[in-house]
């Protein structure tokens, strides 16, 4: 049985920082939670919006949400409107938790 204290609901992550595979891959701040994606925004004047599949989320460390996204990949997720579900199905892997769309694992930094 999984200990539910090791997970957090997506809705609780609004306003948290988002990073890629390393801390220098800045994905901005979590703005919205979609059914299949997380919307982040980076910048104050020129605002870049990213629609990142929940499938790519790795963990939440209590301060930052970490995604399996490299600097080169992050531009694939920058857009003004949400993508279709079919566009994101390519990121789904067999090894993903079945509840990835409702909660994310909490891990130490």
Give residue-wise pLDDT tens across range 86-97. 777 776 666 666
Domain ranges for the chain: 4-105
Q: Decide if 57 contacts 8 (C-beta within 8 A).
A: no
Write the CA distances from 3 to 7, 63, 105, integer angstroms: 8, 20, 10
Q: What is the mean pLDDT of residues 4-13?
A: 81
Average pLDDT over residues 50-79: 91
Rounded mean pLDDT of 7-34?
A: 93
Mean pLDDT of the region 23-49: 91
Q: Considering the entire predicted model, what is its pTM?
A: 0.79
Q: Report residue 73 as tokens.
A: 């990949």
Please state which CATH number belongs to domain 4-105: 2.30.30
Distance, first Cα to last Cα, the chain = 24
Listed in sequence order, the DSSP H helices in the chain are: 71-74, 85-88
């Amino acid at each position: 049985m999984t200990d539910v204290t090791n997970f957090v609901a997506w809705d609780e992550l609004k306003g948290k920082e988002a990073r890629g595979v390393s801390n220098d891959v800045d994905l901005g701040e979590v703005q919205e939670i979609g059914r299949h994606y997380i919307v982040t925004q980076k910048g104050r004047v020129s605002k870049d919006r990213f629609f990142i599949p929940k499938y790519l989320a790795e963990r939440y460390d209590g301060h930052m949400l970490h995604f399996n996204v490299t600097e080169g990949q992050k531009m694939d997720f920058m857009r003004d409107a949400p993508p279709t579900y079919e566009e994101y199905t390519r990121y789904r892997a067999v090894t993903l938790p079945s509840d990835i769309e409702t909660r994310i694992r909490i891990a130490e930094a």
